Chain A
């Protein structure tokens, strides 16, 4: 081996050794800093948890007071908006029922007849008095006449004193112990009581 080769080999070996020394030191330094960072995060997280147990209730109270109030108001506003929408549906339904009743059409005639039969069945007995508004009295009279022929043994009488209603009827027995309210607005109220949630579903506002 020549002198130059020997020198080159010695230099190369020394440089390699030097680089390894520096690399190992750098790696170790990075590991130390990484571990320190983790430890720092653990300490911070511990103290946050510790403080939260000491003053947590006060902090939660502040949060609940502000966010809770807004949530409550928001829910109330949302509920109000839903009720306005549902109210609108029932108002429109009422308008349509009024139009049907005022039309005096054959459809309404059929409705009146069904309402009377339903009420009669519900009350039972042989002597029934049917009340309606002034406008519907002629319809009711004609229906009672027909029903009188169909239902043998049942006496149906029209109350000449009109009631104040959108449409539909009220039926009572002669001694006044039983009364069945079958007016359109009464039925509308009943439907609202039982089916409001279904209406909300139909509107997609649940």
Chain B
């Protein structure tokens, strides 16, 4: 192998590594930029919400949203009570009969 060929190969490989280094740095920089942007947006949005809440603006919007949530929860509550009432209507005749016997026993003297 001639010295020239070795030097040429070495140069090309060095270039490859330099490019890889640059690509790696770019990857990290891009990620850092994206992370900064995410935090920046979150901070701005948080600040906007804080200010709106402090000024009372947007309150109606929030209340409307809460009302929607509450209505949804209320629907569940209604369904739950309806089920309980339905279950009551299914109390067996045997249980009713036992309860009647118990009442009669209590009413009549021993």
Residues of A within 8 A of B (CB): 3, 6-7, 10-11, 14-15, 17-18, 21-22, 24-26, 28-30, 32-33, 35-37, 39-40, 43-44, 46-47, 50-51, 54-55, 58-59, 62-63, 65-67, 69-71, 73-75, 77-78, 81-82, 85, 88-90, 92-93, 96-97, 111, 114-115, 118, 184, 187-188, 191-192, 195, 198-199, 202-205
Contact = CB atoms under 8 A, between A and B. Distances in A.
A26 B62 CA distance: 41
Label chain B's interface by main secondary structure: helix
Contacts of B95: 202-204
Contact of B88 (A6, A58, A70, A85): A85
A67 to B, nearest CB: 5
B66 A36 contact: no
A203 B93 CA distance: 10
Interface residues of B, number: 63
A114 B109 CA distance: 6
Most buried by A among B6, B38, B74, B103: B103
Interface of B: 1, 5-6, 9-10, 13, 16-17, 20-21, 23-25, 27-28, 30-32, 34-36, 38-39, 42-43, 45-46, 49-50, 53-54, 59, 62-63, 66-67, 69-71, 73-74, 77-78, 80-81, 84-85, 88-89, 91, 95-96, 98-100, 102-104, 106-110
Contact of A39 (B30, B39, B100): B39
Given A25-B27, A32-B31, A14 B16 contact: yes
Given A22-B24, A77-B81, A188-B107, A7 B1 contact: yes
A74 B62 CA distance: 27
A90 B24 contact: no
